[in-house]
Amino acid sequence: MSAAAAAPEVVVAPSWRDKGIWAPAAPGPASAAGEEREALAGYLAERPSLFGGSCSWPVMVLREDALEHNIRALAAFATRHGLLFAPHGKTTMAPQLWRRQIDAGAWGITVATPAQLLVARRSGVARVILANEVLDGTALDWIAAELAADPAFEFACFVDSAAGVRAIAAAGEKHGLASGARGGFPVLLDVGFPGGRTGVRSHAEARALADLVSATPGIRLLGVSSYEGGLPGVEAVRGYFAGVRAIVEELAAAELLPPDAIVTAGGSAYFDQVGTELTVEWARSVLPDARVILRSGAYISHDDGVYVGKTAFNRIPAEGSLNGALQLWAQVLSAPEAGLALVGMGKRDAPIDSGLPVPLLLRRADAAGDLSSARTEVLEGANVTTLDDHHGYVALPDGVTVVPGDLIAFGISHPCTAFDRWSNIPVVDADDTIVDVVRTYF
C-alpha cells in the first residue's frame, strides 16, 4: 500500500473562523460547540496538571490569578473614571476571554478587521467597534445586512476619507439604513496626527469629512475616534487629545454629532491620559449624553517585556497594576557547553517583534526525567540571546546549570503577537492545574 493510500484524507470546509476566507453563512466550528463544551468539561473534571502528562512542550499557558487580576484592574479603572470600556479583542481573538471582559463590565469589544468582526458576531457580541475604515464592498454589504436585520446590534467603524464615505454609504443605502430608525451606517470620524497611523490630519479635514458624511445618504456620524499609541510621550498625547477635544467641540457646535455621540481612544500605554484628557465631564458639557469609550487590549495578559515599562499604571500606581499572565514552558533539549542551554522554543512559538522571551522559572526533572513532583524555582540572570524556528538560545549565569529534560518558563514581550501563535491555550491555577482551555480564532 502506498503512503498516499494509507494516509486518511483531511477535508476542511471553509468557515467564518478562517482568516482571509469570507464565508459568514458557513456553519464552522460553532456547529459542534455543544460537543466541544461537553468534551472540555470532561477533560477539566479530571483536574489535569500542567506537569502531569497533559501537555507536550513547548506550551503557552495563561495564569488564572494574573488573568483575573488584569481583567478586574482595567474594569475598575474605567468605572472609576466614568468611561465605557470596549477592550480590543484583536489581542487575544478569544471569545471566551471577551466574555470574561464583558462579564466584568465591558460595554463591548473592539476589533480591527471585518474577519474579526465576523468572529465577534458569531460569538454573540452585541456591541462592536471596528477600529479601522472598511472599504471592502463584500464585508460592508454583510455588515449593513447585519445592522438592518438586528436592531440590538450596536456597531461603528472608522472613516477618514471620501472614498470610505462613498463605500460605506453605498452599503447603507443598499440595505435601507438611510431611511430606517438607525438613520444610516454608523461611523466614527478618525482623527490622527502627522506621521501617525490612520485618521485625518487637521481640523479642516475633520470638518470637511463630517460635512460630507452629513450630506451623504446611507451613512451617519456617530462620533469621533482617536488613537494615541504611536506618540512619544505624555506631553505629546496631551497635545493630541487637546486637538481631539477641539474637533469634537466644533462638530458638536455645528450639530454634526448626535447627543449620545461616542468619543473613543486608548491603547495600553496611555489609558491614564484618556481618563484625564477626555473626561466624561468634558464630553457631557459638549453633548448631553456623550459616551467616552476606552479601547485598551494588551492589558489582559500584560507581559514580562515591553509593557512592563509602558503600562500607564506606572504613572498612577495608586490606581492599580498589571501582572504578566502568559508563560511559555519549553524543555531543555541540549546543554552543550557551560553557560548555554538550547530549549525547544523558537520563532514559531514566541513573539519577537518587541523583544525576546524572558526566562522566569526553572523546573528540574528527576533522574528518571519525571517533572510531576519537581520543584519550580526562580531563574535569575538568564537571558535569551536569539531564536531559530524551533530553538531558543539561553545564556545562563555563572553557577546555574541545567540538563536536558529540565523545563524553563519564559515570559513574553508583546501579547498581541503571542496569542496568534497558539490555537488552544491552557489556563492554569496556582497549583498548576488546568482549569480551562482558551481557543483563539486567528
Could you report the per-residue pLDDT of 141-175, keeping only the tens digit for each? 999 999 999 999 999 999 999 999 999 999 999 99
The answer to whether residue 92 is domain-embedded is: no
Confidence (pLDDT) at 27: 67
Contact 276, 316 (CB under 8 A): no
Please tell me whether residues 224 and 291 are part of one structural domain: yes
Domain final residue pick, 276, 296, 316: 296
Confidence (pLDDT) at 26: 73
- Widest Cα–Cα separation across the chain: 78
Please state whether 365 falls in left (phi above 0), alpha (psi between -120 and 50) or beta: beta
Pairing of strands 127-133, 84-85: unpaired
CATH number at residue 134: 3.20.20.10
Least confident of 123-137, 172-186, 404-418: 172-186
The answer to whether residue 113 is domain-embedded is: no
- Reported as a pLDDT band with limits 50, 70 and 90, residue 31 is very low
Instruction: Take residue 259 and report the three cell numbers written for it.
Output: 447627543
Domain final residue pick, 253, 268, 296: 296
Which position has the higher pLDDT, 2 or 332?
332
- Reported as a pLDDT band with limits 50, 70 and 90, residue 33 is low
What is the residue range of 215's domain? 126-296
Please tell me whether residues 355 and 255 are part of one structural domain: no
Please tell me whether residues 174 and 249 are part of one structural domain: yes
Instruction: Give the containing element (helix H, strand E) for 122.
Output: helix 114-122
Confidence (pLDDT) at 22: 87
- 272: Cβ contacts below 8 Å, ≥ 6 apart: 312, 313, 315, 316, 319
The answer to whether residue 91 is domain-embedded is: no
Please tell me whether residues 36 and 173 are part of one structural domain: no
End-to-end CA distance of the chain: 37
Please tell me whether residues 287 and 148 are part of one structural domain: yes
Please tell me whether residues 281 and 156 are part of one structural domain: yes
Q: Is 80 exceeded by the pLDDT of residue 30? A: no
What's the rounded mean pLDDT across residues 69-86? 98
- In whole angstroms, how far apart are CA 422 and each of 214, 356, 442? 44, 17, 9
Measured over the CA atoms of residue 46, residue 51, residue 53 and residue 55, the dihedral's sign is: positive
- 151: Cβ contacts below 8 Å, ≥ 6 apart: 181
The answer to whether residue 207 is domain-embedded is: yes
**pLDDT tens for each residue of 181-216:** 568 999 999 999 999 999 999 999 999 999 999 999
Least confident of 23-32, 36-45, 70-79: 23-32
Please tell me whether residues 290 and 315 are part of one structural domain: no
**376: three-class secondary structure by DSSP:** strand
Confidence (pLDDT) at 155: 98
Going by C-alpha positions, the residue among 328, 326, 356 that lies closest to residue 97 is: 326
The answer to whether residue 142 is domain-embedded is: yes
Please tell me whether residues 154 and 278 are part of one structural domain: yes
Q: How many domains does the chain have?
A: 2
The answer to whether residue 159 is domain-embedded is: yes
- 224: Cβ contacts below 8 Å, ≥ 6 apart: 188, 189, 191, 206, 244, 247, 248, 251, 257, 261, 262, 263, 264
The answer to whether residue 238 is domain-embedded is: yes
Confidence (pLDDT) at 431: 94
Please tell me whether residues 219 and 365 are part of one structural domain: no
Domain final residue pick, 296, 323, 356: 296
Please tell me whether residues 365 and 277 are part of one structural domain: no
CATH number at residue 425: 2.40.37.20
**pLDDT tens for each residue of 228-255:** 999 999 999 999 999 999 999 999 999 9
What's the rounded mean pLDDT across residues 39-47? 89
Instruction: Take residue 81 and report the three cell numbers written for it.
Output: 473614571
**pLDDT tens for each residue of 254-279:** 999 999 999 999 889 999 999 999 99
Please tell me whether residues 415 and 359 are part of one structural domain: yes
Instruction: Provide the whole-model pTM.
Output: 0.94
Least confident of 33-47, 58-72, 337-351, 418-432: 33-47
Mean pLDDT rounded to a whole number for the chain: 93
Please tell me whether residues 185 and 288 are part of one structural domain: yes
The answer to whether residue 25 is domain-embedded is: yes
